[in-house]
Chain A
Amino acid sequence: MIKLTVNGKTHEVDVDPDTPLLWVIREWVGLTGTKYGCGIAQCGACTVHIDGVATRSCSIPVSAVANNQITTIEGLAQSGTPHPVQKAWVALDVPQCGYCQSGMIMAVAALLKENPKPTDADIDAAITNICRCGTYQQVREAIHAAASA
């Protein structure tokens, strides 16, 4: 049994300790907002916060995070109020297919916590998630919008 705290709720899962956190979140905890895109820490679709730090959950075994606070896209809003990044995403109509956007939003939320007014260069360095639909231009605008909200 591995104990796991996701979005403030503790779960006990009877799972192979090597199972990537991503699949435990999706299949054992049942939260599917966190996406699978590559499984090798390349695309960022699986990004969650571990103790507030953006982390690619496909490449970290569940056993490594038993004592940490995990936040997924479902837990980003605070008591029903969307996070400023989510608000900016809606205001600027960022998503196309949307599949990469959970990871994108989680990565951006973590960036803004550390660096509330990122420059374009800061964004380029920090946000390396892949979006095949090519929403990068809207993502950049929305980051700036969220930063000045």
Chain B
Amino acid sequence: MNAMPKFNRRTFLVSSVAAGLSLGFHIPFSDEAHAQDATPEVNAWVVIKPDDTVVIRIARSEMGQGTRTGLAQLVAEELQCDWSKVTTEYPTPGQNVARNRVWQNFSTGGSRGIRESNEYVRKGGAAARMMLIQAAANDWNVPVAECRAENSVITHQPSGRSTTYGKVAEAASKLEAPKDVPLKAAKDWTIAGKPLKRLDTVAKTNGTQVYGLDIKLPGMLVASIKESPLLNGKVKSFDASKAEGRPGVRKVVQVGDNAVAVIGDTFYQTKTALADMPIEWDGGENVKVSSDTIAAMLKEGLGAEQAFVGNKAGDAKAALASATKRVEAVYSYPFQAHATMEPMNATALYTPERCEVWCPTQNGEAALAVCAEAAGLPVAKCDVYKQDLGGGFGRRGMSDYVRQAVTVAKQMPGTPIKLIWSREDDMTHDFYHPISQCKLSAGFDTAGNLTALHMRISSQSIMAYVFPQNLQNGMDPAVFQGLTPNSPEGHFGYSIPNLLIDHAMRNTAVRPGFWRGVNTNQNAIYVECFMDELAHATGQDPLAFRQKLLADHPKHLAVLNAVAERAGWGKPAPAGIYRGLAQFMGYGSYVAAVAEVSVNNGQLKVHRIVAATNSGHAVNPAQIERQVAGSFVYGLSAALYGECTVKDGRMQQENFDTYEVMRMDEMPKVETIVMPSNDFWGGVGEPTISVAAPAVLNAIFAATGKRIREIPLKNHDLKTA
């Protein structure tokens, strides 16, 4: 029998409650939601209970980036409620579908959570406030214009009468929503824009936070899975008798055509049974794939005739041919795993009438669609209960593990089954940071002006794999993140009269995915390290060289100048310490960094990072600082260690012993400059990661004279002769 002694009553409610979508709004499971009972919502975003507790609905997934707190701040700002009474809850994807997508997009990626939804969530808060005031005015029979709200209290100014949101919420919920909903200007904010504490910290310090891996349901079993270790391989045969009959093992099942799972009482039992079970795989042609064959394919793309053009000005090829001085270099970027701390998992309960999934996901609606498809049921008979993520970084935008969990659960109807991936499963079945190479050629005139730049990228396309329908005549526009002429998402800041940035798409058997920062990671290395090379090749200061070329792009220039000034660029660094800088634009935000490093006996130490970000608005500067610092840990882990290699059609790194990441002793202090210009909405979770690696690589050059053009650094000897 299942050894789980604990039994959470609320979990029992799940099936029955969630089945009755039309009866009202119930979020089983969220700690903050359970007491909500029958309190009617003021509108889709706001529920106010009789005790004045404010429940704000959050459509995006919380994975550490602070979106729960930031989005709640935006709603609360317009609601003018008492922040100390704010709690949050997730609507389910099924409820969103049933209510005509009243919460709009659930997808949490691309640093879009706040910038994409700020307007409609603020309007949700403002409309609720207007309805609450109206309800009080109606009750008092006074003109609404004489009433105002502050801190969850509504006051009728002439008479001094007052009431609270909790007292009028029910009446407000019956009113019609206002049509014209004006919003406050950012300068008048008192909750948004402030460095408030997160709403979800305490549970993360005492073990009570429930992640997907911690889900408990009555009668639940667990499953371990072995997916083909060969790239895109299939199951040829397996001998279930080696696992069946072992203690705790209930059933052995094939999952699709590429995996086998053992269902049982506990994880150690299923995992060891699976490990002892012989499975034969068919890898087809892919068994010949290795890092070398992939590198050769990409290298061919560097000189290929056909390429998609992402940015073009003048005639770069002609200008290069006639340039007085030319500089060339080839860079590359490897496959990398996300390695979220919490491995992939999902819990599914299937019956022929209904299928439910509890899982950490960055894309609740995609998870719902996959659940319905795998269950063979209409979407209306399915739902997904999002759990806070133990890290996402793009990995959990994919729903492969949801499909597996449902496929497993379908083979034991009525029994909830938690599918648990081991770290090894996770690292060898990722959707990897795409692999890429880049050849850069620059030309100078006699006066030392940069007249031409050709940047040829040869790389794998994420879009071609994940959303092929989004390719534009075969081109993947996302490959040019930060390199396009005028995209608000991220444009190239340097003005170069003859410019050509093009892409030869070379897709591999390794499946690619969105990985925090995505294509800005390699693009920023290519551009910013090469700019450094050009400055040095022509005897110019790397800062002054960039400043001149960025003159037409004041926002790019502003963040660069900010870090240079804070770091003391141009002034002598402490003995043995060398500086490097980088700037870039991504996810609608402008970022720059200076790194200070020393290299002694080949040993790199990063001493200090100064990072600036202009995300337009800064909804919570304290959380932005944490995202920036965290980006550097993620980005520098990638630069120092991140590499997944392929041999004989298999991913080689399986765990943190061979896929190392930065730990505390290597991490310098990050000094963050949050400098919102308040005239646009940019992202926060990803933009800064792009400048982490190039700033450090440029500092390493300053320290050693060695130009590292291939990460990770662990493959390089930094010893100077």
Contact = CB atoms under 8 A, between A and B. Distances in A.
B656 A32 contact: no
B377 interface: no
Interface string B387-398: 011111100000
Interface in B613-665: 622, 626, 629-634, 655-657, 661-665
Contacts of B392: 97
A72 interface: yes
A28 B266 contact: yes
A37 interface: yes
Contacts of B341: 35, 37, 43, 45, 97, 99-100, 130-133
Contacts of B213: 32, 35-36
Contacts of B390: 35, 97-99
Interface-centre pick from A94, A105, A132 (highest chain B CB count, 10 A): A132
B342 interface: yes
Interface string A114-149: 000000000111011111111111111000000000
A43 B340 CA distance: 12
Interface in A35-57: 35-40, 42-43, 45
Given A90-B201, A97-B389, A35 B342 contact: yes
Contacts of B632: 134
10 contacts: A28-B4, A39-B422, A73-B207, A96-B626, A96-B630, A99-B390, A99-B391, A101-B204, A132-B340, A134-B667
Interface in B149-207: 197-198, 200-207
Contacts of B62: 97
B267 interface: yes
Contacts of B140: none
A92 B66 CA distance: 14
Interface-centre pick from A94, A96, A97 (highest chain B CB count, 10 A): A97
A135 B267 CA distance: 29
Interface string A76-102: 110000100010011001111111111
Nearest to B5: A30
Interface of A: 13, 15-16, 19-20, 23, 26-40, 42-43, 45, 72-74, 76-77, 82, 86, 89-90, 93-102, 105, 123-125, 127-140
A132 B422 CA distance: 17
A27 B65 contact: no
Given A42-B655, A134-B631, A95 B669 contact: no
B390 to A, nearest CB: 3
Main secondary structure of the interface of B (DSSP, over half): loop
A140 B391 contact: no
Nearest to A72: B207
Given A39-B423, A131-B341, A95 B201 contact: yes
Given A130-B656, A134-B634, A30 B4 contact: yes
Contacts of A20: 268
B458 interface: no
Interface-centre pick from A20, A30, A32 (highest chain B CB count, 10 A): A32
Contacts of B201: 89-90, 93-95, 98
A74 B206 contact: yes
A148 to B, nearest CB: 18
A36 B342 CA distance: 7
Contacts of A43: 341, 656
Contacts of A123: 664
Contacts of A27: 3-4, 222, 266-268
A32 B664 contact: no
Given A38-B656, A130-B661, A13 B3 contact: yes
A32 B268 CA distance: 15
A125 B269 CA distance: 35
A132 B204 contact: no
Interface string B213-224: 110100000100
A35 B267 CA distance: 13
A129 B343 CA distance: 16
Contact of A16 (B204, B247, B667, B670): B247
Contact of B630 (A42, A45, A135): A135
A100 B65 CA distance: 15
Given A97-B391, A99-B342, A129-B663, A134 B207 contact: no
Minimum-distance CB pairs A-B, first 3: A33-B207, A134-B633, A98-B204
B64 interface: yes
A32 B210 contact: yes
Interface in B396-428: 420, 422-423
A128 to B, nearest CB: 5
B667 A136 contact: yes
B209 A74 contact: no
B31 to A, nearest CB: 13
A33 B669 CA distance: 29
A127 B666 CA distance: 12
Given A32-B214, A90-B202, A95-B204, A37 B423 contact: yes
B601 interface: no
B62 to A, nearest CB: 8
B606 to A, nearest CB: 12
B214 A137 contact: no
Given A33-B208, A40-B655, A96-B66, A137 B667 contact: yes
Contacts of A35: 211, 213, 341-342, 390
Contacts of B422: 39
A97 B63 contact: yes
A71 to B, nearest CB: 11
A99 B392 CA distance: 11
B343 A36 contact: yes
Contacts of A77: 206
